[in-house]
Amino acid sequence: MAAKKDTTKVKEELKTKKSTKKTINESTGARVFISEDDAYLFAQGTHYEIYEKLGAHPSTEDGVDGYFFGVWAPNAVDVHVAGEFNNWSDSAAPMKKLGPGGIWTCFIPGIGENILYKYVITTKSGEKIFKADPFANYAELRPGNASKTTNLQGYTWHDATWMKNRAQKDMNREPMAIYECHIGSWMKHPDGTEDGFYNYREFADRLAEYLKEMKYSHVELMGIAEHPFDGSWGYQVTGYYAPTARYGTPKDFMYLVDKLHKIGVGVILDWVPAHFASDAFGLAKFDGESIFEHPDPRRGEHPDWGTKIFNFGKTEVSNFLIANVLYWIKYFHIDGIRVDAVASMLYLDYGKRDGQWVPNKYGDNKNLEAIEFFRHMNSIVKGMYPGFVTIAEESTAWPKVTGRPGEGGLGFSFKWNMGWMHDFCEYMKLDPYFRKNNHYAMTFAMSYNSSENYILPLSHDEVVHLKCSMVKKMPGYEIDKYANLRAGYTFMFGHAGKKLLFMGQDFGQEREWSEARELDWFLLQNPLNKGMHDFVKELLTIYRKYPAMYTIDNGWEGFEWLNADDKERSVYSFYRKDETGKKNVLFVINMTPMMWENYWVGVPENKKYKLILNSDEERFGGNGHTIPAQLSAVAKECDYKPYHIEFDLPPYTAAVFTFQ
């Protein structure tokens, strides 16, 4: 009996210890400290969880709760932590320097969450400068610019199935219809507050309903990392590790991602490693000298943008950025990044005149350090998180952007096809009479389509700065503009490549986008706008329904022109191929206001062709011209095919068929 009682006692003690340990981990994460190994790996540029050590983290020392602070300031003479907890004293909370690497640390007892703080750095010249924490996870709402203590632990996620499935997906073979979105101007709060921002949770509930209805597969969120100026749209960052406080707390942002995952929508973040804001409280001359930016202004500044350029050749800076991507994945479960302004990183002379840049060691304009940075980043991030996508906004003909790093590529999952976007917009703006002279602008992208994995973007950049909204780019009377755009969107969704559409353009937003006001949702009361909205929803439904539309986007195996040369009538016909042969999708698109009676389209099979979309239907805002619900192939040669189908093709109309 005694032995049995002892065993029971031991089990109870073990149970108590496990319970106590769990409580400590959930509350503070126990003691945080930086070891020699941490400092060494950071100096080598390979500490991929450095965000767990640098910054401000809840910690416990000698049984006392508080916060541990760590900052990299290699040129500082002294560093202190100042904040609300010590009346912003510049000397009350000194930090200790750890070795030659330039990391400073301290533990401050008694500090809780949501406390404002900054680092007070004494420079070599004796000046004391107040700096926000580069690794802060939360920040003061602008116009304030202090960092804020927070605890990222404790959120209960509900997306385990999503995360497991994501890791097993090859996104080249999955549907990607991306809704590009700016939270602050998507919809304003009716409460009449100054900014009118919905918080992350309110926005999540409303956006989830919208994306689910429309059938988008992903959302790309602009301006999530903390930034001081609304007008920069989030492209001049000061807090790379902090979800902007404009819309709530870090855990509120977790809720947003979690909510979208629960309805099957992936989350992509705009990420800006090309340059950063030059504000005095930020990264620029952080410890009195240039440690994040290149010290030579010809390498470290964008003269046109007024921003600083990261020093990609510096191991700690490379580590800062690569770990930042991993941080967003680990703590916020994001599914991809769209890397802004990649071209500006690859070319040393981008946006610069003679005398404003310095050639590399070989005497040319390639940024060798940035190239290596991209290869390193993509190898690590995609190696650690299969299914995660990295997308390059690259506007030149740089080769192998989506090629493997080991084969001379940069390693991105996808590249924005800026050439397609330019040609598409320029063509669609033309008066129909002149389109025949520019016919091949719309076919050119397929000639190089297999060179990269592409996304076709119609982004925010195309609907600002006097470029007009998408519908206002179109020629003709109002009804013609909407008909043109329906035909153009059908061409886009049929063309090889993943898709991206900026918010508001799916219902025919007529004004240019402004970050200061919400979208013109009231337009949905108008038949043409409601019709456009319903039409894009139908396009998205078809896109998601038929694998031929997305499984082979980067090769001729998935796409075939039927007639790319009918420039006199400005008609394009092509089809997307299903690998199984069961559900091919055929497109016929008339880009003129002319009715083409008895129009012949060459087809490859003696089959029945079932109509699944007619953009001229009245429910979409069209004129209501009908196209037969089913057409049978006729055994007469057309377009170098043994068969053809024949029907009246209405003005500015896209007709979509399926066939086996």
CA–CA gap between residue 168 and residue 16 (Å, rounded): 39
- Token pair 């990392």: residue: 225
Q: What is the DSSP string of 475-503?
A: -SSHHHHHHHHHHHHHHHHHSSSEEEEET
For domain 489-660, which architecture applies?
A: Sandwich (2.60)
Taking residues 558-578, what's their average pLDDT?
Answer: 97
- Cβ-in-10-Å burial (0-12, 13-18, 19+) of 594 comes to middle
DSSP code for 619: G
Q: Tell me the mean pLDDT in the region 17-29.
A: 38
* Whole-angstrom distance, CA of residue 224 vs CA of residue 270: 8
Q: What is the DSSP letter of 448?
A: S
- Residue 4: pLDDT over 80: no
pLDDT tens digits, one per residue of 296-342: 999 999 998 999 999 999 999 999 999 999 999 999 999 999 999 99
54 DSSP assignment:
S
Report the b/e string of 114-139 with b at 16+ CB within 10 A: ebbbbbbbbbeeeeebbbbbbbbbbb
Radius of gyration for the alpha carbons in the chain, expressed in angstroms and rounded: 28
Average pLDDT over residues 474-484: 97
pLDDT computed for residue 149 by the predictor: 98
Nearest to 508 by CA among 541, 532, 475, 535: 532
Catalytic residue among 133, 180, 293, 340: 340
Task: Read off the pLDDT of each residue in 23-30 and give the average, rounded to a whole number.
Answer: 46
Concatenating the DSSP letter of every residue in 564-602 gives EEETTTTEEEEEEPPTTSS-EEEEEEE-SSS-EEEEEEE
Pairing assessment for the beta strands 78-83 and 96-98 based on DSSP bridges: unpaired
* Weakest mean pLDDT among 118-122, 191-195, 248-252, 439-443: 191-195
Q: Which of 393, 394, 538, 578 is labelled catalytic? A: 393
Q: Beta-carbon neighbour count of residue 350 at 10 Å? A: 19
Which pTM value belongs to this model? 0.93
Q: Parse the chain into domains and list their residue ranges.
A: 27-148, 160-416, 489-660
pLDDT band at 594 (very low <50, low <70, confident <90, very high): very high
pLDDT of residue 444 exceeding 90: yes
Are residues 102 and 75 in contact, defined by beta-carbon separation less than 8 angstroms?
yes
The least confident of 163-167, 192-196, 249-253 is: 192-196
CATH code linked to domain 27-148: 2.60.40.10
- Helix ranges (H only) for 364-477 are 368-384, 418-428, 432-435, 470-473
Active site residue 534: no
**Matching fold, domains 27-148 and 160-416:** no
Strand partners, 336: 268, 389
Does the pLDDT of residue 468 top 70, yes or no?
yes
pLDDT per residue as tens digits for the range 58-98: 999 999 999 999 999 999 999 999 999 999 999 999 999 99
Sign of dihedral through CA atoms 628, 632, 635, 641?
positive
Q: What is the mean pLDDT of residues 487-502?
A: 98
CATH superfamily of 160-416: Glycosidases (3.20.20.80)
Q: Please say if the pLDDT value at position 24 is more than 80.
A: no
Q: Point out the least confidently predicted range of 185-194, 240-249, 333-342.
A: 185-194
- The average confidence (pLDDT) of the chain is 94
**Percent of the chain at pLDDT exceeding 90:** 93
Is 462 a known active-site residue? no
Mean pLDDT across 220-230: 97
Q: Distance between CA 20 and CA 14 in Å, rounded?
A: 10
Mean pLDDT of 232-254: 97
- pLDDT tens-digit series, residues 11-22: 343 333 333 333
Torsion 10-12-16-22 (CA) sign? positive
Q: Which residues contact 351 (CB under 8 A, 6 or more apart)?
A: 302, 303, 304, 305, 344
Gap between the Cα atoms of 399 and 141, Å rounded: 41
* Residue-level pLDDT at 192: 75
Q: Contact at 8 Å (CB) between 532 and 209?
A: no
> Using 50, 70 and 90 to split pLDDT, how confident is the model at 164?
very high
**What pLDDT is attached to residue 5?**
38
Higher pLDDT, 385 or 15: 385
